[in-house]
Structure 1
Amino acid sequence: MAHTHNHSHHHKEKGRNLIISIFLNIVITVVQVIGGLLSGSLSLLSDALHNFSDVLSLIVSYIASVLAKKKASTNKTFGYKRAEIIAAFVNAAALIIVAVILIMEGVERFKNPQEIESNLVIWLSLVAIFANGFSVLLLKNDAKGNMNMKSAYLHLLTDMLASFAVLIGGLLMKYFKMYWVDPTLTIAIAIYLIYMGYHLLVESTRVLMLFTPGSIEVQKIVDEICKIDVVKNIHHVHIWQLNDDEFHLEAHIDFNVDIKVSEFDAILENIEEILYHDFGINHVNIQPEYGKCDSKNIIVQD
Structure 2
Amino acid sequence: MIENHAHNHSHSDHELTGRSLLFSIFLNIGITIAQVIGGLLSGSLSLLSDALHNFSDVISLIVSFFANRLAKREASIKRTFGFKRAEIMAAFINAASLVVIAIILVFEAIERLQNPHKISANIVIILSVVAILGNGLSVLLLKQDSKVNMNMRSAYLHLITDLMASVAVLIGGLLMKYYQLFWVDSVLTFAIAIYLIIVGYDLLKRSFKVLMLYTPDTIEVKEIVNTINALPKIKSIHHIHVWQLNEEETHLEAHIDFNSDIQVSEFGEVLHTIEDVLQKKFGINHVTLQPEYGKEDNKDIIVQD
Please, which of 12, 23, 42 is the counterpart of residue 39 of structure 1? 42
Q: Identify unmatched segments of 5+ residues in structure 2.
A: 1-6
1:11 paired with 2:16, answer yes
- Decide which of 131, 134, 137 is 1:134's aligned counterpart: 137
For residues 68 and 206 of structure 1, what CA distance do their matches in structure 2 show? 19
| One of 57, 60, 73 as aligned partner of 1:70 | 73
Letter matched to residue 266 of structure 1: E
Identical columns (%)? 65
The structural deviation recorded for 1:246 is 0.2
What's 1:282 paired with? 285
For 1:11, what is the secondary structure of its paired residue? coil
Matches within 5 A, 1:1-302: 2-3=8-9, 5=11, 10-12=15-17, 15-302=18-305
Q: Is the Cα–Cα contact under 8 Å of residues 12 and 248 in structure 2 kept in the other structure?
A: no
Query: With structure 1 as the length reference, what TM-score do the two structures score?
Result: 0.97
CA distance in structure 2 between the partners assigned to 1:228 and 1:241 by the alignment: 25
Partners of 2:35 and 2:47 within 8 A in 1: yes
CA distance in 2, matches of 1:161, 1:271: 47
1:246-286 deviation line (CA, Å, top 9, x unaligned): 00000000000000000000000000000000000000000
The higher relative CO (CA closer than 8 Å, separation ≥ 6) is in: 2
Specify the code of the residue in structure 1 equivalent to 2:87: E
Q: How far is the alpha carbon of 1:6 from its aligned partner? A: 7.7
Partners of 1:204 and 1:25 in 2: CA distance = 24
Once residues 90 and 10 of structure 2 are traced to their aligned partners in structure 1, the CA distance between those partners, rounded to angstroms, is: 24
Q: Deviations over 1:100-156 (max 9, x none)?
A: 111111011112211000011001100100100000000011001111001000000
Distance across 1 between alignment mates of 2:115 and 2:99: 25
State whether residues 45 and 186 of structure 2, in contact with CA within 8 Å, keep that contact through their aligned partners in structure 1: yes
Give a deviation string over 1:76-108, Cα, whole Å, max 9, x none. Answer: 110000000000000000000000111111011
Look up the SS of the partner of 1:253 in the other structure.
strand
| Farther-moved stretch of structure 1 (104-113 vs 173-182) | 104-113
Indicate the RMSD between aligned Cα atoms, in angstroms.
Answer: 1.0
The answer to whether the 8 A contact 2:10-2:249 is kept is no
Distance 1:68 1:19 in 2: 16
Q: Could you tell me the TM-score, scaled by structure 2's length? A: 0.96
Report the secondary structure of 1:185's partner residue. helix
Q: How many residue pairs end up in the alignment?
A: 299
Structure 1 distance, partners of 2:9, 2:186, is: 52
Q: 1-side partners of 2:11 and 2:187: how far apart?
A: 48
- Give the C-alpha shift of residue 2 in structure 1: 3.6
Report SS of the residue matched to 2:238.
strand
Cα distance in 2 between the residues matched to 1:137 and 1:250 = 39
Deviations 1:52-96 (A, max 9, x none): 000000000001000000010111110000000000000000000
For residue 287 of structure 1, give the secondary structure of its aligned residue in structure 2. Answer: strand
1:228 to partner: Cα distance: 1.0
Deviations 1:180-236 (A, max 9, x none): 000000000000000000000000000000000000000000000011121000100
CA distance in 1, matches of 2:12, 2:229: 35
